[in-house]
Structure 1
Amino acid sequence: MPTENNYRAQVLFDLGATPAEVTELLAYNENIFHSPNLANSNFPLESAPHITDWQRYHQEAEDVGVFTVLSSALVQFQFPIRAGISENENYRAVTRKGQFTDGMAEATGLKLEKPEELQLLIHPTLAGEIPILITGCRADFISLVQALTKRNEPVAISDSMGATAVGGFNNWERIRHYRKQWEVDQEKPVTEADWQAEFQRLIPQKHLYQDFFIILSHGNYSAVVAEDLGLEEAEWLRLSLTIRIEHECCHYFTKRVFGSMRNNMLDELIADYQGIVVANNGIYRADWFLRFVGLEEFPHYREGGRLENYRGNPPLSDGALRILQALVKQAAENLELFNANHIAELTTNENQGQLITVLTSCTLEELAAAKGAVLEEIWQSRTYRSDIANLKLH
């Protein structure tokens, strides 16, 4: 077994894991982030191509409203939330082949309780600008998540979910916009066969038609109430929105820079770190994070905390899950200590981006071990995933 895995296994054994649980957790905590090539990169990065089209939506919305613009642009907005609709032939023709909804009886439109309160932001991040949709109420957040990520099916949405990142979204309006410009650029009239040939060339170029955006709701972050944090309700709602935005933007950063964005506790630790420090003037609060995931009274786990949403596939056994909880607690506390020791240097965009890079170079075992010595050594050396085996692990 490689040196790195021996070290990780020893961390797990020290927490009381059985050999079978060690095997489970080594697989669950495997680091799959790609090593980035950041030699010539400066943060923030240049925005992805889809931002141009979303900026157009944003501008159009100033005159007619966000809901009206998106009802025309995003085909899922043209269908209701209804059980079985994803298997309807017309729905599949529209969402998979880009057909128009003219004359389709099923296309009765997405219903929101407060459509006039739907907001569209173009938000700056370390990985470039990103579109963010903010709903006017919880019911509308659920409707948008169901429409845009669940194929308009009435799938249950967890109460602890207040935001979701939507990646790889096929935007047929962008394809139509591309087609119009392509036709203008041709020297002679084009046929449908000409377009189909061009469309086949377009398909591999996913950046030209696939979008990444975020859907957010107002409300308490991770279903935690203000009183639990000793805050006034209005202040906590304001902070909750900031944490949600920055949490999801961090997922976007890891997806764009490192090629991965998972339902995994390492990803959640990193993303919540970013959300908390932006909301809390650069200071990380491990106690906030542990409450968000249900571990505020460790070793007791509070049912309904977010951690249970990241049990893995296949799900971790009950024993392995208890060890994971211990890893998460120790990693969060080590991260708080690191943040306190380096807070002055973590104020620049460059160092914020470098820290996310360093965190994605670690596993939960490495972050949890030795009072943060591994994290500190990686930070000082800026040694990333491909070279981590060469570190002297303490």
Structure 2
Amino acid sequence: MKIKILPYRLPTPYILSDKDTFFGVKTPAGELGVFCADNRKDFEKLIGMLKYHGDASLVPESMGAMTVWGLYHIAKQKKLPLIILSSGPYSALPYKYTPYREKEWLEVSREIRAYHEMAHVVSRALFPENKEPLRDEVIADYIGLLAGTGHYDINLAKAFLGIEGRDYRPGGRLENYLVAGQSAQQMMQWISEDMEWLFHYCSEKPDDIFGLLVSLEKGKALIRAKAEERL
């Protein structure tokens, strides 16, 4: 029987790139790590392995980030959350629907995506009682836009969820957060009102972006339970 010798380096299922980035961020909820895969296929394979039992085909096209809680940080002997980001347009929104050119939109998307996910981490760590999926998405997009673009563009925020004027674009993120008995059309007006409130609360990037988030959470802004009264 002929024995095959394994190569010195085993082949990797990931493409990998010099443009892959990793950095640490200090937040009110503590330190966390952020890894961005430059190649979308690498992101899908990694998320597929961590969340979908190895099936990368189950990763939604609109999904661009995921937080892995409690990874062990050897150097500091403690567990830290790790945010995994993909490159590509934020919320799978093509640049032609934004005020940006293609390359610029990809750069802006990375910033929006990073701060959106960091907002989730801070909110869940410090204010777990405020958890409500759709409300959390609206606020996380708000923080992402302020940090990534310097201001809150309501029309862009609506486009992220699939709201285009008075119409809803099928396949938008909004439908991922509906509960039984609700329709995307029904929710559009409420979400638009919430976004208008956020715009008037703070439309330009503050000096302390996480301080703004903490202020919103402490005030329990836009808790969906309040919106239930409108039913």
Paired residue total: 220
Aligned-pair RMSD on alpha carbons?
A: 3.0
Correspondence 1:295-374 to 2 at 5 A: 295-298=163-166, 300-311=167-178, 315-319=179-183, 321-340=184-203, 343=204, 346-348=206-208, 351-358=211-218, 360-364=220-224, 366=226
CA deviation profile, 1:112-161 (whole Å, cap 9, x unmatched): 02255432211233433311111121100101111223343445111111
Please identify runs of 4+ aligned residues in structure 1 that moved more than 6 A.
367-370
Tell me the equivalent position of 1:49: none
1:252 corresponds, among 121, 127, 130, to 121
TM-score by length of 1: 0.50
1:267 corresponds, among 136, 143, 146, to 136
Q: Is the 8 A contact 2:23 2:35 kept in 1?
A: yes
Decide which structure has greater strand share: 2
The whole-number CA distance in structure 2 between the counterparts of 1:243 and 1:350 is: 14
Compared CA separation, residues 360 and 329, structure 1 to 2 (3 A): same
Secondary structure of the residue aligned to 1:167 is: strand
Tell me the equivalent position of 2:154: 286
1:152 lines up with 2:54 in the alignment: yes
Secondary structure of the residue aligned to 2:63 is: coil
Structure number with the bigger relative contact order (C-alpha 8 A, sep ≥ 6) is 1
Compared CA separation, residues 221 and 242, structure 1 to 2 (3 A): same
Correspondence 1:188-267 to 2 at 5 A: 208=78, 210-259=79-128, 264-267=133-136
TM-score by length of 2: 0.81
Q: Is the 8 A contact 1:119 1:133 kept in 2?
A: yes
Secondary structure of the residue aligned to 1:332 is: helix
The whole-number CA distance in structure 2 between the counterparts of 1:286 and 1:356 is: 18
Moved more, 151-160 or 284-293: 151-160
Secondary structure of the residue aligned to 1:124 is: strand
Supply the AA of the counterpart residue of 2:39.
C
Supply the AA of the counterpart residue of 1:329.
S
Compared CA separation, residues 261 and 248, structure 1 to 2 (3 A): farther
Compared CA separation, residues 140 and 123, structure 1 to 2 (3 A): same
Q: Which runs of 5+ in 1 are unaligned?
A: 1-107, 179-207, 371-394
Greater gyration radius: 1
Q: Is the 8 A contact 2:32 2:80 kept in 1?
A: no
Instruction: Measure how far apart 1:109 and its partner are.
Output: 7.6
Aligned-pair identity (%): 25
Q: Is the 8 A contact 2:34 2:85 kept in 1?
A: yes
The whole-number CA distance in structure 1 between the counterparts of 2:45 and 2:130 is: 23
Q: Which runs of 5+ in 2 are unaligned?
A: 1-9
Instruction: Measure how far apart 1:220 and its partner are.
Output: 0.4
Compared CA separation, residues 118 and 262, structure 1 to 2 (3 A): farther
